[in-house]
Amino acid sequence: MKRLCVALLLASTSTFSFAAESLTGNQQCLAEKYDAYIDASLNWYADLADLTSDQYPELEEVSQWFLEGRKHHFELNRAAVRYYLVNDSSKVATEQSIEGWLKLEQHDIKELSQRDDELGKIAKTTFDDRQSKPHAQNYELRSAFAELLSHPKQIDTALQRYNQSIAKVESTQCK
């Protein structure tokens, strides 16, 4: 059920764009490549949250809280890359590995959160997440993640799926 919810969220946001902007052919290719990276990352975090909740049922709520924060973070990055591709391509380092295309610092997110548009709303959600008090079980969740990640066989299927997705993303050529 959780995977279905994540899939529906991804499907509804994967084609996110600002109505006032139109991407050129290359910008569209780059945006779709970044979208695929975001989707792979969100699926990885959903898998990690599911594995953690399965092994540690008492961490179900904090796992979902963590996943929600990751969704906010990645959806901001998705929206920001699309915005910057059109409006300030110097902020998107497409010559780097896809994980390094966008570097939004806290002050950048705060500045974006002041905007009165969809990007501003998304940035405000992420900014508010970062300013909020951590979940009471955050430390326990991080410890559970460390435990899971130190046993590669427990995460092998999810990790292979992520690595295959990222390899496909990295092989995408935009001209």
How buried is residue 164: exposed, middle or buried, by Cβ count under 10 Å (0-12/13-18/19+)? exposed
pLDDT at 15 over 60: no
Give this prediction's pTM. 0.85
What's the pLDDT tens digit per position in 70-79?
999 999 999 9
Who has greater pLDDT, 66 or 20? 66
Residue 21 confidence (pLDDT): 60
What's the pLDDT tens digit per position in 85-129?
999 999 999 999 999 999 888 999 999 999 999 999 999 999 999
